[in-house]
Amino acid sequence: MLFTALLSFAAAGTAAPAPTASPDIVVRAERAGAALAKCLAAGCQTPDDVRISIAQAELQLAQGSYLDALATLSHVIDRTKGDAGRYPRMVAALYEASATVNLHVGDMEAFRKATSSRAATLRENLPAGDPMLVLLPIELGDARAQSNDWFEAERQYRSAAQDYTDQHRPWLAAIASLRAAAMAISRNRLALGEARLREIARMPAASDPDIVQMRTVLEARIASARGKGSGVEALLSALRADPQAPPLLIRADEYPEEPGAASALMAQRFGNGDQMQPRSGDTVPIQWVDIGFLVRPDGSVSDAEVLRGNRLKDWAAPYLRQVASRRYAPLTVTPGSPGRYRVERFTLRATRMVPKGSLIRQAVGAPELRVLDVTKVEPKPAA
């Protein structure tokens, strides 16, 4: 998804660090906290407040202190939202960061509120035609998809594609349609995905190299889902990923079903929801790990391992196997390069809801997995 992850943080470089929590991150978090306190005591201006607060929140998230990161972002939003007219991009960045962390905490109501507040901030304060406003319809579709609101995400993508067509933005119209196709394929609605790809092939931007590449990736995913290995290899032979972009995932084993998710779904489907109704006090703690892995030049994965995490990490073993099963598009790299190292944060958390016997939202829903790419990308030196 292209929904921007503002909270990308240093979890690894080009080589895998030891699988323990990094003392350096703890030190940097303490320094960021001290810098923020000093700034606030001196009458921190909004640009500095936003910059330092986001730095502190991303380091708190790196430590696994999810709720502390949320508190940091909540406080800076309260301090700066009145300056949205002067600094709309900065305030919108805070809402986006808050949405990202809430998604991984499991507070979907707060996620939707932050997403809506970001959209309102941009619409009310940026001029028509601003790039952030132009891309907003696609990002709202992404947010719906992240909420598992598939019907509304499909509607949003289709509406965005039509609007872009009317605005004579054919490339963005194709991108929005590709999003709808990718979502259908990810939900195993392969026939719908193929229909969407046929529509895209008839669009004005169909021959654009970026559009051709993404269509090829999605066609390979369909071929893989249908067990047509030879078809996947034929598509991959003509595909090479941009060396500056994240690797393009072609296929992978399904993530294992989270414990309790199936029983919760059955309870909803067959009407015995009260039997499965979570009760106050049944709070489920957040579990997280950072998994590092090497994407080799041929697109295969090696050296998948847990770099760090909280609690016992045995629960992550099925996700390690899923990462190892992945196949990416072949990489365009310097001859002799081992490939590209990636790090992803896997968070297993319950959805926050108001349980029986309480008036407060708590983490008591069925466990759900969220994955965030936290690879640190170093800027290329100037020529």
d(CA 241, CA 243): 6
In this structure, what CATH number is given to the domain that contains residue 52? Answer: 1.25.40
Last residue of a domain, one of 221, 239, 257: 239
The verdict on residue 142 lying in a domain is no
Residues ≥6 apart with Cβ < 8 Å to 52: 32, 35, 36, 39, 44
**Domain for residue 162, yes or no?**
no
Domain with 314, as residue range(s), is 247-377
In the chain, what is the straight-line distance between the N-terminal and C-terminal CA atoms, in Å? 31
Same domain, 306 and 270: yes
The answer on 227 and 196 residing in a single domain is yes
Residues 189 and 235 in one domain: yes
The pLDDT value given to residue 226: 85
Residue 345 has pLDDT above 80, yes or no: yes
E strands in the chain: 249-251, 287-295, 301-309, 327-328, 340-353, 362-373
Q: Which of 220, 239, 258 is the last residue of a domain?
A: 239
Whether 221 and 304 map to the same domain: the answer is no
Same domain, 304 and 355: yes
Please give the pLDDT value at position 228: 74
Domain assignment present for 345: yes
Q: What is the pLDDT of residue 154?
A: 95
Name the one residue in this structure whose structure tokens are 């041929």: 298
Give 13 or 73, the one with higher predicted confidence.
73
If you average pLDDT over each of 47-61, 225-239, 341-355, 369-383, which comes out highest? 47-61
Q: Do 216 and 269 belong together in one domain?
A: no
Tell me: do 2 and 83 sit in the same domain. yes
Residue 214 covered by a domain:
yes
pLDDT band at 27 (very low <50, low <70, confident <90, very high): low
pLDDT digits (tens, 9 = 90+) for 203-219: 999 999 889 988 988 98
User: 5 falls in which pLDDT band (50, 70, 90)?
Assistant: very low
Do residue 1 and residue 111 come from a single domain?
Answer: yes
Q: 270 to each of 234, 263, 267, 273, 351, how far by Cα in Å?
A: 45, 11, 6, 8, 21
Residue 135 lies in a domain: no
> What pLDDT score was predicted for residue 267?
43
User: 281: phi > 0 → left, psi -120 to 50 → alpha, else beta; which?
Assistant: left
195 and 254 in a single domain? The answer is: no
One domain, residues 19 and 118: yes
Q: Could you tell me if residue 136 is inside a domain?
A: no
- 200 shares a domain with 184: yes
State the pLDDT at residue 247: 87
257 and 372 inside one domain: yes
CA distance 101 to 111: 8
Rg (alpha carbons) of the chain, rounded to whole number:
22
Given a cut of 70, whether residue 10 has pLDDT beyond it is no
Does residue 178 sit within a domain?
yes
At 89, is the pLDDT very low, low, confident or very high (cuts 50, 70, 90)? Answer: very high
Chain centroid offset of residue 137 CA: 17
Domain count of the chain? 3
* pTM for the model: 0.80
More confident residue, 379 or 237: 237
Band the pLDDT of 100: cuts 50, 70, 90: very high
Give mean pLDDT, residues 194-200: 96
321 in a structural domain: yes
